[in-house]
A and B are shown apart, each in its own frame.
Chain A
């Protein structure tokens, strides 16, 4: 019983480590954090100019970085709009 308890505890600790590691896998330290509320508005205003809105849950945080930067170039977004939209998407997925 004691070993089972130790094993469970170790597994739990290891799980925490792994979960932390995995969750940090996509937590790049760039770009600077934007404004969530402004991002939600900019997302709704800008993205539908050309295409249907994409669900924030479609992509991981790191994938949203490349996607929003791609759309910054393509859609003529400012850097601040890009960061705001990215913050909104990363916190909504």
Chain B
């Protein structure tokens, strides 16, 4: 290699070295800035993780559950037209502090025929978990009398699109009450049992005036018992009741219920047709109000069988010299369902009868249904009802119902 070649090589090396320095300088600067960015990102992630950890072990939990249903009803009752319907949207709110207390509330939101929205408080309770065998439930609760109202009425649970006659809001079975309830489960040896005991405001009673056609009163009779929770006790009389459920077999539950107290007429249904001669209801005494119920349920594999009976009685009473005769409302249903496993189809049959002091309200019903379980909490139902009133001069009608019910 000659001298000029060595010089050329040194120049080339120097050039390359300088070039590398020029090139690496911004690279190292870039790397330093990227590290800063990474550090910031890590700091932010640490903050996020710390924030997330704040919720990792909360003492309070919030959860919303509930159910809703929509459908279509077609019947041959001349008084009604076939129509699509929104049954009920019933959100349930749960707020819980550890395993000590839970607040539960369900709203019942319905679309009225005139398009307006109706909102009712289905229940609102504060549940104090006293120990493993007792929960104190205070507030407005679903009636523990029987099984349908407290456990089976949500549309995603009820295997037919409708409630059995007499188990709705104007029936023989109490719907809800406002008071204090103690409930829970325990074992009698190997036999499981559950119980509920409560004291509540009780129902309000309505009477109806029959005019004599001459502007006077022919008679006064009990019209109905509004056995729903009222925000205030209009008559001051409390009721006491409860239910005991026993499991003689693992898949068989037998429940007995009772409710007793005094209930007072607080209102004339339909007002006073005589224009002011109706006896005042102020200060009248209450009459004995008693409810008894029996419910039996059996589930095994694809079979689900249920029976329930409820009777409500009002004893005789005198209002303003008019004797109101004792009255009784009774209702029962027997229901069988069979799931065609492994398919998603289910067949249902229900026979029921509601008897009231007013012939026009009596109802005998045969209901049939085919359900398709898209999932265990999303159910399509096709139901048929044959409704009859055994009393002379009363109308009978059939009804078809389609329903989509979703429990969430």
Query: Could you tell me if B184 and A14 are in contact, using CB atoms closer than 8 angstroms?
Result: no
In the assembled complex, the Cα of A52 lies from the Cα of B341 at a distance in Å of 13
Listed by A's residue number, 7 A-B pairs whose Cβ atoms lie within 8 Å are A10-B38, A66-B94, A72-B135, A75-B194, A76-B183, A79-B133, A81-B185
B316 CB to nearest A CB, Å: 37
CB contacts under 8 Å to A, within B174-232, are: 183-187, 194-196
Q: Flag whether B34 is at the interface (Cβ < 8 A).
A: yes
Contact of A76 among B49, B65, B185, B407 (CB under 8 A): B185
CB contacts under 8 Å to B, within A34-93, are: 45, 48-55, 58, 62-63, 65-67, 69-70, 72-81
Chain B residues, Cβ within 8 Å of A74: 150-151
- Number of residues on chain A facing chain B (CB within 8 A): 45
Question: Would A10 and B42 be within 8 Å (CB), given that A66-B94, A73-B183, A78-B132 are in contact?
Answer: yes
In the assembled complex, the Cα of A10 lies from the Cα of B131 at a distance in Å of 48
> In the complex, what residue of chain A is closest to B55 when comparing beta carbons?
A25
Query: Could you tell me if A28 and B194 are in contact, using CB atoms closer than 8 angstroms?
Result: no
> In the complex, what residue of chain A is closest to B193 when comparing beta carbons?
A76
> In the complex, what residue of chain A is closest to B93 when comparing beta carbons?
A66
Query: Could you tell me if B94 and A70 are in contact, using CB atoms closer than 8 angstroms?
Result: yes
A-B contact count (CB 8 A): 130
Q: Flag whether B360 is at the interface (Cβ < 8 A).
A: no
Query: Could you tell me if B49 and A78 are in contact, using CB atoms closer than 8 angstroms?
Result: no
> In the complex, what residue of chain A is closest to B376 when comparing beta carbons?
A52
CB contacts under 8 Å to A, within B121-147, are: 127, 129, 131-133, 135, 137
Chain B residues, Cβ within 8 Å of A62: 58, 61, 63
A22 CB to nearest B CB, Å: 6
Contact of A73 among B42, B49, B127 (CB under 8 A): B127
CB contacts under 8 Å to A, within B55-102, are: 55-59, 61-63, 65, 92, 94, 96, 98-99, 102
Contact of B157 among A18, A50, A63, A66 (CB under 8 A): A50
Chain B residues, Cβ within 8 Å of A7: 34, 38
Q: Flag whether B351 is at the interface (Cβ < 8 A).
A: no
Q: Flag whether B297 is at the interface (Cβ < 8 A).
A: yes
Question: Would A76 and B195 be within 8 Å (CB), given that A25-B55, A49-B253, A67-B65 are in contact?
Answer: yes
Query: Could you tell me if B132 and A79 are in contact, using CB atoms closer than 8 angstroms?
Result: yes
Question: Would A17 and B104 be within 8 Å (CB), given that A53-B376, A72-B135, A74-B150 are in contact?
Answer: no
Question: Would A48 and B56 be within 8 Å (CB), given that A3-B34, A18-B45 are in contact?
Answer: no
B402 CB to nearest A CB, Å: 20
A88 CB to nearest B CB, Å: 17
Contact of B250 among A22, A45, A53, A70 (CB under 8 A): A45
A67 CB to nearest B CB, Å: 7
Chain A residues, Cβ within 8 Å of B48: 18, 21
A12 CB to nearest B CB, Å: 11
Query: Could you tell me if B34 and A28 are in contact, using CB atoms closer than 8 angstroms?
Result: no
A14 CB to nearest B CB, Å: 4
Query: Could you tell me if B99 and A31 are in contact, using CB atoms closer than 8 angstroms?
Result: yes
B401 CB to nearest A CB, Å: 20
> In the complex, what residue of chain B is closest to A51 when comparing beta carbons?
B157
Query: Could you tell me if A17 and B133 are in contact, using CB atoms closer than 8 angstroms?
Result: no
In the assembled complex, the Cα of A8 lies from the Cα of B65 at a distance in Å of 41
